[in-house]
C-alpha cells in the first residue's frame, strides 16, 4: 500500500527506469522499434469480430477459437498488465519476386520468439524477481497491431498494415506481455495516409474493399498460403507470378517507397538457397518437380512450409499458367512439367495443372 506522495514518486520512477532499460535491451537484442502499452480492452476487437462474422476470414476458422480472448489483451495470460511491443524489419528494398520478402529466409516466429524470450530474461533480471510473462508473435489470441498502435509504433494504413513514419511497413510485430508496471508510451493517434489510395488501386485481386477493410478470401497471401483448397478460378489470373504471398500493397505505399530499408547482411531473413535468384517461372518449375524429401530439406525452418508441398505445387501450376514465354524450348518444358503434374497423387495439384495448360493454350504433349 502507498502511504505518501514520496512513495508515489518512487513507484513512478521505478516504472520509468524499468521501461527505459527494457527498451535499451530490446534495441540491443536487435529489434528496430519498441514501445510500451498497458493491457486492457482491445480497441479494434469489435471490428475483428464483425470481420469474422462476415466470413472475410475465409477458411481460417482457427481465428474464431480465441475470439473472446482477443477482446481484452489481459485475457491471453491472466495476471499480466503491460506489454513491450516490438518491430523487426525484414527488408523492403530487395527486388519483388515470386515469394513475399518476409518468407524468403527463416521463419520469423522462431526468430522473434527467441529474441523476446531473451528480452523477458533481461527484464526480469532488472526487476529483481520472477516476472510472469509470455511472448506473442502472430501465434496467439492477441491483436498485436492494436497493441502496437497503442504503444506508439504507427497507424493503420489503408492496406490494413501498421505503418511507422520512419520505417514504412516491412516489419514483423511481436509483443511480450508481463506482470510488471512499466511507463507507457503515447498511442499513435494520427492518420498519415491522407487521400492516398495507391494500395487499394494496385491490389491485383481487389482484396482491399475499402480503406482499412480487407477481404482475406480475395487476398493473394491468403490464396497462396492459408487456403488449403482450390484457388477460385476467377482469382487465378490475379495471382500472376506470385507463388507465396504478395507485397503489392506495400510496394506502392509512399511510406515504403521513401523509407523501406535493405535487410541486414547477417539477417536471418536473407533469401535461402532454394529461393535466391529465382524468377517466378524457374521457381515454379523447380517446385513442381520437387520430391517430398527435397522439399523438406530446402524449406526446413522456412515459413513457406506452412503452405505444404501440395499447396506450393498448386501455386506453381497457377504461375506457369499465367507467365508467358516467347521461347519454344521453355514452352515445351512447361508443357512437360504440367503434363507430368496431371498424374500427381494430389487432386489439388492435378486440377490446377490442367487449368494451367488450358489457360496458356498449350498442347497436351511436348511436341
Q: Which residues are annotated as catalytic?
A: 138
In terms of Cα–Cα distance, which of 188, 210, 178, 179 is closest to 197?
A: 210
C-beta of residue 86 within 8 angstroms of C-beta of residue 265: no
Q: Which three cell numbers stand for residue 75?
A: 485475457
Q: Which three cell numbers stand for residue 64?
A: 474464431
500500500: which residue's cell? 1
Element (H or E) spanning 88, and its range?
strand 82-89
Give Cβ neighbours of residue 265 (< 8 Å, ≥ 6 apart). none
| Spatial distance between the Cα atoms of 348 and 313, rounded to a whole number of angstroms | 9
Quick one: CA torsion of 100, 103, 104, 108, rounded to 10 degrees?
A: 140
Report the Cα 319 to chain-centroid distance in Å.
Answer: 21
Helix 308-322, helix 280-289: angle, nearest 10: 140
Phi, psi of 149 (to 5 degrees): -65, -40
| Spatial distance between the Cα atoms of 188 and 199, rounded to a whole number of angstroms | 21
Bridge partners of residue 162, in order along the sequence = 156
480465441: which residue's cell? 66
- The 8-class DSSP code of residue 168 comes to B
Element (H or E) spanning 178, and its range?
strand 171-178
C-beta of residue 224 within 8 angstroms of C-beta of residue 242: yes
| Spatial distance between the Cα atoms of 210 and 51, rounded to a whole number of angstroms | 13
| Spatial distance between the Cα atoms of 40 and 300, rounded to a whole number of angstroms | 37
| Spatial distance between the Cα atoms of 305 and 108, rounded to a whole number of angstroms | 13
CB count, 10 Å around CB of 12? 12
| Spatial distance between the Cα atoms of 282 and 21, rounded to a whole number of angstroms | 48
Amino acid at each position: 500500500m502507498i502511504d505518501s506522495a514520496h512513495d508515489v514518486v518512487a513507484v513512478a520512477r521505478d516504472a520509468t527506469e524499468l521501461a527505459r532499460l527494457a527498451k535499451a535491451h530490446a534495441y540491443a537484442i536487435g529489434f528496430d522499434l519498441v514501445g510500451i502499452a498497458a493491457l486492457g480492452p482491445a480497441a479494434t476487437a469489435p471490428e475483428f469480430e464483425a470481420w469474422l462474422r462476415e466470413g472475410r476470414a475465409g477458411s481460417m476458422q482457427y481465428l474464431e477459437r480465441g475470439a473472446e480472448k482477443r477482446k481484452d489483451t489481459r485475457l491471453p495470460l491472466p495476471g499480466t498488465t503491460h506489454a513491450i511491443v516490438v518491430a523487426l524489419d525484414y527488408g523492403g528494398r530487395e527486388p519483388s519476386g515470386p515469394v513475399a520478402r518476409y518468407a524468403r529466409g527463416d521463419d520469423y516466429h522462431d526468430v522473434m520468439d527467441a529474441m523476446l524470450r531473451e528480452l523477458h530474461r533481461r527484464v526480469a533480471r532488472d526487476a529483481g524477481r520472477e516476472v510472469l510473462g509470455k511472448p506473442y508473435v502472430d501465434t496467439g489470441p492477441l491483436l498485436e497491431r492494436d497493441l502496437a498502435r497503442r504503444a506508439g509504433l504507427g497507424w493503420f494504413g489503408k492496406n490494413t498494415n501498421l505503418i511507422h513514419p520512419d520505417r514504412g511497413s516491412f516489419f514483423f510485430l511481436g509483443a511480450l506481455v508481463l506482470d510488471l508496471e512499466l511507463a507507457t508510451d503515447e498511442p499513435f493517434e494520427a492518420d498519415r495516409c491522407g487521400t492516398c489510395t495507391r494500395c487499394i488501386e494496385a491490389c491485383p485481386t481487389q482484396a482491399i474493399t475499402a480503406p482499412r477493410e480487407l477481404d482475406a478470401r480475395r487476398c493473394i497471401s491468403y490464396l497462396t498460403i492459408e487456403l488449403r483448397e482450390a484457388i477460385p478460378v476467377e482469382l487465378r489470373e490475379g495471382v500472376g507470378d506470385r507463388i507465396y504471398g504478395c507485397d503489392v500493397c506495400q510496394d506502392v505505399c509512399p511510406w515504403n517507397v521513401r523509407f523501406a530499408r535493405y535487410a541486414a547482411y547477417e539477417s536471418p531473413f536473407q533469401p535461402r538457397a532454394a529461393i535466391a535468384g529465382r524468377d517466378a517461372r524457374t521457381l515454379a518449375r523447380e517446385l513442381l518437380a520437387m520430391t517430398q524429401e527435397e522439399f523438406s530439406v530446402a524449406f526446413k525452418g522456412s515459413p513457406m512450409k506452412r503452405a505444404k508441398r501440395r499447396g506450393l505445387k498448386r501455386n506453381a501450376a497457377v504461375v506457369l499458367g499465367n507467365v508467358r514465354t516467347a521461347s519454344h524450348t521453355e514452352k515445351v518444358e512447361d508443357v512437360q512439367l504440367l503434363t507430368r503434374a496431371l498424374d500427381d497423387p494430389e487432386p489439388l495439384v492435378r486440377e490446377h495443372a490442367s487449368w494451367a495448360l488450358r489457360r496458356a493454350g498449350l498442347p497436351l504433349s511436348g511436341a
